[in-house]
Amino acid sequence: MDNHFTITINDDNGVRQFNLHQIVKKAIWYVLGFIGFVALIAVGTILYLNYAVDQIELKRLDTEKSFTQLKEKNDNLNKSINETQVALFLKKKELNEVSDSLSEIETLIGLSHGPADASLKERVNATKLNSEHMATLLQLIPSGSPVQYSGVTSKYGYRIHPTLNRKEFHRGLDMRARMNTPVYASADGIVEYAGYHKKSGFGRLVIIEHNYGFKSYYGHLNKIVVKYGKFVKKGTLIAYTGNSGMSSGPHLHYELRFLHRTVNPFWFVKWNVKNYKDIFSKEKKIPWQSLITATQHIKVPNPTQTLPSSQLAHLSKVK
């Protein structure tokens, strides 16, 4: 005999009977099905959550990596900014020094600073043009001492001639120099004469014709090393001092002429960049303004900045 209950239901539709163990059995299956469904969902959820956690961890690691890279870039940028600031500070300091030096040069060459808002480049260009013009004039017009300056024994003007013993006009400078002291051209030019000149009393004489009506004379020489017609640049060795002609001892007779008229060589011997403007007021026989206007657009390539240094060693002693 089976151990189960039978439930009988009598209604308008008739009589129905249910075995209780079948109901329990179905209920158990439903419960097991539900538990399995819940378990399946739980497993799926856990797997999804694990996947989501893994993705979050990957994003976190990627974010940390990006943050580290960004931090490195930021550190490099800060380092670059600091280096740039230091470089800008040094460059500003350098530019201030350049500006101060430029101011000294502007003062030296007599060039005003111009407008207050003038840029450094504009000032440099103006100074460059002015200095190039100065270099041109000092290259083409006799300037500086043709020998190492050791003093003047006889100035330009009236004097008692040392050999003729009579008063006459001395048209040049007698520059003190030992025998065979090197003599250099005081400006670019062409050798007009190179030889013994008995008529003038200068003995061995070199005459150089320069630009714009200037000529320079070098007299009482012992030895001449240039020839007639030779082009010479400022600072070229042309001769050695001596005692030839009407001379009482070794020296250099240095004479300058402008349009066949003598001018005082003294101011030209002194003439250099430092006292560039002085000669315009000291030597008034020269139409300087016309000369400056005529030469302001001329640029001499590779100008001789000074005569050989040995000649200028005592130039500051010129009085």
Does the pLDDT of residue 178 top 90, yes or no? yes
Q: Is residue 260 part of a domain?
A: yes
The answer to whether residue 100 is domain-embedded is no
Length of the chain: 319
Taking the CA of residue 72 as centre, how many other CA atoms within 13 Å lie in the half-sphere pointing to its CB? 6
Nearest-angstrom CA–CA distance, 267 and 270? 5
Q: Please indicate, yes or no, if residue 272 is contained in any of the structural domains.
A: yes
Residue 51 has pLDDT above 50, yes or no: yes
Half-sphere exposure (CA, 13 Å, Cβ side) for 229? 0
Same domain for 285 and 172, yes or no, is yes
Is residue 22 in a domain? yes
Q: Does residue 113 fall inside a structural domain? A: no
Q: Which is more confident, 153 or 162?
A: 153
218 within a domain of the structure (yes/no): yes
In-domain check, residue 283: yes
Number of domains in the chain: 2
pLDDT of residue 318: 38
The answer to whether 238 touches 163, Cβ cutoff 8 Å, is no
The residue out of 23, 46, 73 marking a domain boundary is: 73
185 and 69 part of one domain: no
> pTM of the predicted model, to two decimals?
0.60
- Residues of the chain with pLDDT > 70, as a percent, come to 79
Among candidate residues 73, 96, 131, the one where a domain is terminated: 73
Which of 53, 73, 93 lies at the terminal end of a domain, its last residue?
A: 73
Q: What is the pLDDT of residues 27-37, one digit of tens each?
A: 778 888 888 88
Is 79 contained in some domain? no
For residue 121, pLDDT beyond 70: no
Query: Quick one: tokens of 157?
Result: 């003007």
64 and 209 housed in the same domain: no
pLDDT exceeds cutoff 80 at 102: no
Q: What's the pLDDT at 7?
A: 61
Beta strand pairing call for 157-160 and 189-197: unpaired
> Residue 57's domain spans which residues?
6-73
Q: Are residues 152 and 56 in the same domain?
A: no
Question: Above 70 in pLDDT, residue 201?
Answer: yes
Residue for token digits 């378990």?
A: 39
69 or 305, higher pLDDT:
69
The reported pLDDT for the residue numbered 69 is 92
Same domain for 58 and 160?
no
The per-residue pLDDT for range 249-288, each reduced to its tens digit, is 999 999 999 998 999 999 999 998 888 888 888 898 898 8
DSSP reduced 3-state for 275: coil
Whether 234 and 152 share a structural domain: yes
Q: Do residues 178 and 292 share a domain?
A: yes
Cα(288)–Cα(279) distance, rounded to whole angstroms? 9
pLDDT at 312 over 60: no
Write the CATH number for 152.
2.70.70.10
